[in-house]
Amino acid sequence: MFVAWAGCELRPITTSRGRFLTDISLSETSALTARVETARKAGAGDFRFRMMALAAALAVLAIFAGVITSLVFGSIPAFKEFGFGFITTEAWSPTRERFGALAPIYGTLVTSIIAMVIAVPVGIGIAIFLTDLCPRMLRRPIGIAVELLAGIPSIIYGIWGFFVFAPWFQLHVQEPVATAVADIPVLGTLFGGVTFGIGTFTAGLILSIMILPFISAVTRDVLETVPSVLKEASYGLGATSWEVMWKVCLPFCQTGVVGGAMLALGRALGETMAVTFVIGNAHKIAPSLFAPGTSISASIANEFTEATGDLYRSALIELGLLLFVITFIVLACAQLMLRQMEKGKGK
């Protein structure tokens, strides 16, 4: 007796006790075997993919560990010679083998702060304009022009800043400002003195132009994720464009805006060639922002080829280690701030 069920042919088999057992036909057994083999191959492919992804992640960690290890071992002679006084000393004399990193650290932090103070509001303003206020026919050309700034090599910024921007800045900005604030106590100290065109403030301005595309591009992308219903409801309640942007759009995407700003700050801290051209490369801390200074990356770029002694080379490597630590601390603080913002948004 044969019974058909769900396309499977069932054959009765009599056991010694007289009971019937069902047995799958040969064709169904082959199909089931093929499915099992396909699932096994898919599982093997998934396992290989996981291993490849794990290898890529471990490669990043290995590179990170390798960079840290090489910097630490390279800076040991300078650390043994100067200790923590290397961070608090301003003197830099290769002939006497006396090195201090205070002036480069000061220049790195001040130029980055100047760049962020200028670039963050301008970049957010550009993103808001391109998102909601710009005419449609101009939106794409202006957006492409802003993003192309990120593709210009840093050495081009440096050449332009040294030969074009610095002379103009000295004649039309530095000299009038220094004359105007000469008798004002605080401003006279910050923006007074002899002007050269190049200096810490000029380097900060060039850095602000370089990091502007990062801030504006990221902010524009996150502003476009704001649901239209939120903006339309705000306009329907009588809110102005300023109120919609300030109280609805920016709070909605504040995490992305801060993330873009921190990405730009990381670029500003490590910029080398453009800063080297326009900062003046003077190993001293001047009270005036218009005076020449130096940064960690500029010092390394200028002097590494001339570092013939072991202690000199080790001091430059320790400067690189300090720059790495500063960047790591800044980005770690940014991550903590983003997490706190996410928690606050959830509440």
- Average pLDDT, integer, range 184-212: 89
Give residue-wise pLDDT tens across range 263-296.
888 888 888 889 999 998 888 898 899 999 999 9
Confidence category of residue 9, pLDDT binned at 50, 70, 90? very low
Instruction: Identify the three-state secondary structure at position 225.
Output: coil
The span from the CA of 267 to the CA of 315, in Å, is: 23
CB atoms within 10 A of CB 303: 19
- Amino acid, single-letter form, for residue 241: S
Report pLDDT for 338. 78
- Amino acid, single-letter form, for residue 126: I
Residue 19 has pLDDT above 60, yes or no: no
Instruction: Identify the three-state secondary structure at position 21.
Output: strand
pTM of this prediction exceeds 0.85: no
Give residue-wise pLDDT tens across range 204-232.
999 999 999 989 988 988 888 888 888 88
Structure tokens at 329: 């601390």
Confidence category of residue 43, pLDDT binned at 50, 70, 90? low
Question: For residues 292 and 305, is the Cβ–Cβ distance under 8 A?
Answer: no
Residues 6+ apart with CB under 8 A from 83: none
Find where tokens 């069902």 sit.
22
Q: What percent of the chain has pLDDT over 90?
A: 34
Range in 3-17, 129-143, 173-187 the model is least confident about: 3-17
Structure tokens at 135: 């005419």
Report pLDDT for 18. 45
- Alpha carbon dihedral 214, 263, 132, 242, in 10-degree steps, equals -130
